[in-house]
A and B are shown apart, each in its own frame.
Chain A
Amino acid sequence: MLLTTISEIPLVQKVHQLEKQIGNTPLIPIRNVFWKKDVQLLVKLEWQQLGASVKTRPAFNIIKSAIGRGLLHQGIRLLDATSGNTGIAYAHISAVLGIPLTIVLPENASKERKRILKALGVELIYTSKFGGTDEAQEKAQDLATKYPDLYYYADQYSNPANWQAHQLTTAPEIWEQTQQKITHFVAGLGTTGTFVGTSKGLKAFNPNIQSIALQPGTALHGLEGWKHLETAKVPAIYDTTLADQHLEISTLEAYNYVKQIAKKEGLLVSPSAAANLAGAIKVAKQLDKGTVVTLFPDDASKYGEVLQQLF
Chain B
Amino acid sequence: MAQIIIPTPLRKFTNNQAKIDSNKNTVQAAIEDLAKQYPNFQKHLLDEAGQIHPFIKIFVGEDDILDLDKEQTTLENNTIVSIIPAIAGGSYNYYNLLK
- Tally the A-B contacts, defined by beta carbons under 8 Å: 110
The total of chain A residues at the interface (CB under 8 A) is 42
Asked whether A305 lies within 8 Å of B98 as measured between CB atoms, the reply is no
Give chain A residues whose Cβ lies under 8 Å from the Cβ of B10: 219-220, 231
The total of chain B residues at the interface (CB under 8 A) is 29
Tell me, in angstroms, the Cα distance from A99 to B36 when the chains sit together: 52
Give chain B residues whose Cβ lies under 8 Å from the Cβ of A167: none
Q: 0/1 per residue, A109-134, Cβ < 8 Å to B?
A: 11111000000000000000111111
Q: Name which of B19-27, B70-78, B79-87 contacts chain A.
A: B79-87
Give chain B residues whose Cβ lies under 8 Å from the Cβ of A131: 7-8
Q: Name which of A1-9, A197-205, A249-257 contacts chain B.
A: A249-257
Q: Select from chain A the residue with minimum beta-carbon distance to B11.
A: A231
Q: 0/1 per residue, B6-43, Cβ < 8 Å to A?
A: 01111011000000000000000000000000000001
Chain B 32-78 interface residues, beta-carbon cutoff 8 Å to A: 43-44, 53-57
Asked whether A220 lies within 8 Å of B91 as measured between CB atoms, the reply is no
Give chain A residues whose Cβ lies under 8 Å from the Cβ of B89: 84, 110, 112-113, 224, 270-271, 302-303, 305-306
How far apart are B47's CB and chain A's nearest CB, in angstroms?
A: 8
Q: 0/1 per residue, A58-93, Cβ < 8 Å to B?
A: 000000000000000000000000011000000000
Give chain A residues whose Cβ lies under 8 Å from the Cβ of B83: 220
Tell me, in angstroms, the Cα distance from A113 to B89 when the chains sit together: 8
> Do A110 and B88 form a contact, CB below 8 Å, given A130-B82, A222-B94, A252-B98?
yes
Q: Does A106 have its Cβ within 8 Å of any Cβ on chain B?
A: yes
Q: Interface residues, chain A, CB within 8 Å of chain B? A: 83-84, 105-106, 108-113, 129-134, 217-222, 224, 228, 230-232, 251-252, 255-256, 259, 270-271, 302-306, 308-310
Q: Interface residues, chain B, CB within 8 Å of chain A? A: 5, 7-10, 12-13, 43-44, 53-57, 82-92, 94-95, 97-98
The 23 listed contacts between A and B (C-beta, < 8 Å) are A84-B87, A108-B57, A108-B91, A109-B90, A109-B91, A110-B88, A110-B91, A112-B90, A133-B87, A217-B43, A219-B9, A219-B13, A220-B10, A220-B53, A220-B55, A220-B86, A222-B55, A222-B92, A224-B89, A255-B98, A306-B94, A308-B94, A310-B97
